[in-house]
Amino acid sequence: MKKLMKIMPALTLAAVAFMATSCGGDSGIKSAWNPSATEKPADLKATVTWWNNYAQPDATMSEADARAKSTYTEYFFAKDVITEFNKLYPNITVNQVYKGGYGDIQTAVNTAINSGDTPSIATCYGDHVAGYIKAGAALDVSGCFDDKYIGFGKTVNASGVIVDDSTTTKADFNQNYLANEGKQYSDGLYYSMPYSKSAETMAINQTVFDKVGAGLAGNPSFVYNKPTVPVYVPPVALASKEKYEVPTNWSELIAIARKMKSDFPETFANNVDSDGLFTAVPICWDSAENMYISFSNMLGIPYTANGATVADQVLFNNADAKKMVAQIKKWNNEGLFATQNQLYFSNKAKGYHQYSSTMVTNGKCFVAFSSTAGATYFADGNSFLATLNETPTADASIYSGTKTTAKSKVISQGPSLSFFKKSNEEEQKASWIWYKFLTGTENTAKLGVAKSYFPVRVSSYSTSTVQKLTSASGTVTADSSYADKKNAYTGDVYKLDEIYAKDNRYISTPVFDLSSACRTAVGNLMKTVLDDKTATTDEQINALVETAFTDAYKAVVTQ
């Protein structure tokens, strides 16, 4: 990717000319719609091409069979929305094109920028958009927000007449998502817009937490209906086992993890395999990168920033960050904590590690920090009760053990949709109109329910679709059905979104040329430190951490 970025300023003259004509040389749409007396937005003719990660069924598969497979849920969601969209805008053709995963889409866009054949919109992360901006291909759509014809809160009726639309107003948009989308770019413009959002949750085995005294924490008779995943093995508690309270900070959580190891000795005995990987561990955080960034934010430790020079942007190589990682290493050495990279291989040949959610449903992990979009995975084990909770805070208490009342911060996750300059201005306008319709009240609610994503609109939470799930939150037991647990757990994370949004607890990191490299670097340094089995003393740990940070920093700044 970096090599491509260095090539981009030397785009062919034809490509440069193509981009310069898109909006009179400007980065965005200044006047989104300027119709004549007889024109209507519904008359606008254009083709919108959307590159996304929605797998499409093979042509030989019947639609009925394809719709029954979760693999194609998002594709058919978009297909159905396009059908409804064309009832209002019959002259706008929307083509969704599957390009693979997020990284594949980024690669395809970078290639298309060089050839001058970008899509209208593409599913993206902010780090990807930084490269599109540098190449001059990204389109700022903020000029559309308040446009009196096609802005937020405007649509057309069946006759093509412009009318007010309460399902797409700017005020109804999740303001945290909207604000964070713009402020992540150094100029504060909107080259991308929020789409399918998620965060992180602390998923716990509530049956283990509630267990008092000796015996099994769960039901041993449950038979799992997917033979590729082991069944839940209820951990056996000692008579001294007491109830655990849900922790609000990491010092409390670590104290509980120590009790877990002593309360469930059979589970955590011989819990490291021949590869040095955990077969059981009290706490797991799936993403080492997310843990690093979240801890840095809550501890007030510099990570990255928008700045004029590399030195102003890449800030993670500092003393406080090293102290933080050394502390995490000590927890790992105690066998209290791991990231997914330290879990046993689910497929050693391919280097795949087991998921923390699978460890929980196997009875081998009791606390998992995972994406809210994966909430339903914890419903797989019907022999225990899971709960999806706010993540605990990390502050000075992780060093001192002092109780804190601070609130945690969580990374705002999930893809956005990026917009591209086109020589056909109607295509740019049509892309915005399509985005607005796609993220209306009902549509964002449907997508959220289908995949446990957070709706980007406040009004979506009042729809019957979402209300069914939020009302199910907290209503299930260990013996509830998979379907009931799936609904309840999705309801749990929807309530978390309301809490996180209300308290402004979402983290959005700056994006720039090296921001993606920074994220990769801190993830690699965490893996390097946690994978090392030789560093056990403070001196050894500090030396290991120092070297890991030096290497990570060099990996970023020498690109």
Provide the pLDDT for residue 23: 31
Provide the pLDDT for residue 231: 77
Dump pLDDT digits (tens) for 491-506.
999 999 889 988 889 9
Backbone angles phi, psi at 459, to 5 degrees: -65, -20
Mean pLDDT of 380-401: 86
| Nearest-angstrom CA–CA distance, 6 and 492 | 45
Provide the pLDDT for residue 503: 84
Q: pLDDT-derived band of residue 221, with 50, 70 and 90 as boundaries?
A: low
Provide the pLDDT for residue 456: 93
Look at 263-277, 337-351, 386-400, 409-423 and tell me which has the smallest mean pLDDT. 386-400
More confident site: 303 or 230: 303
Provide the pLDDT for residue 5: 36
Cβ neighbourhood burial of 37 (10 Å; 0-12, 13-18, 19+):
exposed
| Nearest-angstrom CA–CA distance, 379 and 363 | 13
Do residues 325 and 541 lie in contact, with contact meaning Cβ atoms separated by under 8 Å?
Answer: no
Q: pLDDT-derived band of residue 514, with 50, 70 and 90 as boundaries?
A: very high
Mean pLDDT of 178-188: 89
Provide the pLDDT for residue 224: 54
Provide the pLDDT for residue 1: 37
Do residues 363 and 234 lie in contact, with contact meaning Cβ atoms separated by under 8 Å?
Answer: yes
Which of 48-57, 168-177, 301-310 holds the top average pLDDT? 48-57
| Nearest-angstrom CA–CA distance, 557 and 550 | 11
Q: pLDDT-derived band of residue 230, with 50, 70 and 90 as boundaries?
A: low
pTM, rounded to two decimals: 0.87
Could you tell me which residues are beta bridge partners of residue 215?
237
Q: pLDDT-derived band of residue 398, with 50, 70 and 90 as boundaries?
A: confident
Q: Measuring CA to CA, which residue among 517, 511, 434, 414 is closest to residue 138?
A: 511
Q: pLDDT-derived band of residue 381, with 50, 70 and 90 as boundaries?
A: low
Dump pLDDT digits (tens) for 531-556.
999 999 999 999 999 999 999 999 99
Mean pLDDT of 333-338: 97
SS3 150: coil
Mean pLDDT of 444-466: 92
Options 3.90.1720, 3.20.20, 3.40.190, 3.30.70; CATH for 200-307+319-411+476-510 is 3.40.190
For β-strands 367-371 and 283-285, DSSP reports them as parallel
Looking at the chain, the whole-number percentage of residues with pLDDT higher than 70 is 90
How many other C-beta atoms are found inside a 10 Å radius of the C-beta of residue 30? 12
**pLDDT tops 60 at residue 282:** yes
Mean pLDDT of 54-73: 93
**pLDDT tops 90 at residue 310:** yes
Options 2.160.20.10, 3.40.50.300, 3.40.190.10, 3.50.50.60; CATH for 2-198+413-462 is 3.40.190.10
| Nearest-angstrom CA–CA distance, 29 and 31 | 6
SS3 454: strand
Provide the pLDDT for residue 513: 87
Q: pLDDT-derived band of residue 229, with 50, 70 and 90 as boundaries?
A: low
Name the residue type at position 469: L
Dump pLDDT digits (tens) for 456-483.
999 999 999 899 999 999 999 998 988 8
Distances (CA, A) of 63 to 69, 76, 97: 10, 9, 17
| Nearest-angstrom CA–CA distance, 298 and 377 | 28
SS3 472: coil
Look at 14-28, 209-223, 395-409 and tell me which has the smallest mean pLDDT. 14-28
How many other C-beta atoms are found inside a 10 Å radius of the C-beta of residue 220? 12
Tell me the domain boundaries of the chain. Answer: 2-198+413-462, 200-307+319-411+476-510
State the average pLDDT for the chain: 89
For residues 238-269, b (16+ Cβ closer than 10 Å) or e, as one string? eeebeebebbbbbbbbbebbeebbebbeebbe
Q: pLDDT-derived band of residue 222, with 50, 70 and 90 as boundaries?
A: low
Q: pLDDT-derived band of residue 16, with 50, 70 and 90 as boundaries?
A: very low
| Nearest-angstrom CA–CA distance, 36 and 45 | 15
Check if 2-198+413-462 and 200-307+319-411+476-510 are the same fold.
yes
Could you tell me which residues are beta bridge partners of residue 369?
202, 285
Q: Measuring CA to CA, which residue among 195, 204, 250, 152 is closest to residue 412?
A: 195
E strands along 296-340, which residues? Answer: 337-339
How many other C-beta atoms are found inside a 10 Å radius of the C-beta of residue 94? 25
**500: CB partners within 8 A, 6+ apart:** 199, 390, 410, 506
| Nearest-angstrom CA–CA distance, 147 and 31 | 7
Provide the pLDDT for residue 13: 31
